[in-house]
Amino acid sequence: MKIDVQLWSFLYAIFSGWIFYVLSFFNYKIVKNYKIIWKYIITIVFVIDFDLLFLLGLYIINEGILHIYFLLILVISFFVSVKLMPKLKNRIKKS
């Protein structure tokens, strides 16, 4: 894989991790008032849809080549977003 394609794939994985955090936050806000079985069903469908969109994006960027480090970057960027977004929200509220 060429270096520019790999760089675009890294950036896409980082961006996707951040988007996954934001969308999962909204998903939680939406489903928190439903019964437990509906919470599980909606969350499973949400995760499957996001995974398919992630793979579609990788297919567009690098012909669908999925390496383990793309998934690791996705997960790491999700957890970094979990740590940084509350601090960013507090900083915006103070301004």
pLDDT in tens, 42-92: 999 999 999 999 989 999 998 878 888 888 888 888 888 888 888 877 777
> Taking 80 as the threshold, does the pLDDT of residue 94 lie above it?
no
What residue segments make up the domains of the chain, in order of their start? 3-94
In the chain, which ranges are continuous DSSP H helix?
A: 3-31, 36-62, 68-94
The C-alpha atoms of residue 20 and residue 24 are separated, in whole angstroms, by 6
> Taking 70 as the threshold, does the pLDDT of residue 95 lie above it?
no
> Taking 70 as the threshold, does the pLDDT of residue 39 lie above it?
yes
Quickly state the pLDDT bin for 41 (edges 50, 70, 90): very high
> Taking 80 as the threshold, does the pLDDT of residue 28 lie above it?
yes
